[in-house]
Amino acid sequence: MSNKNKPEDKKVEFALGRENYILLIIGFAIIVFGFLLMIGGKADNPNEFNEEIFSFRRITLAPIIVLFGFVFEIYAIMKKPTETEEK
Q: How many domains does the chain have?
A: 1
Residue 82 has a pLDDT of 75
- How open is the CA angle 45-36-24, to the nearest 5 degrees? 160
Per the rule left: phi > 0, alpha: psi between -120 and 50, beta: everything else, 63 is: alpha
CB 36 within 8 A of CB 69: no
**Residue 57 maps to a domain:** yes
Range of the structural domain that residue 26 is part of? 16-78
* Whole-prediction pTM: 0.76
**Measured between alpha carbons, how far is 33 from 27 in angstroms, rounded to an integer?**
10
**Residue 10 maps to a domain:** no
Per-residue pLDDT of the chain (87 residues; tens, 9 = 90+): 555 656 566 777 778 888 999 999 999 999 999 999 999 877 788 888 888 888 999 999 999 999 999 999 999 999 987 776 554
**Residue 59 maps to a domain:** yes
**Residue 86 maps to a domain:** no
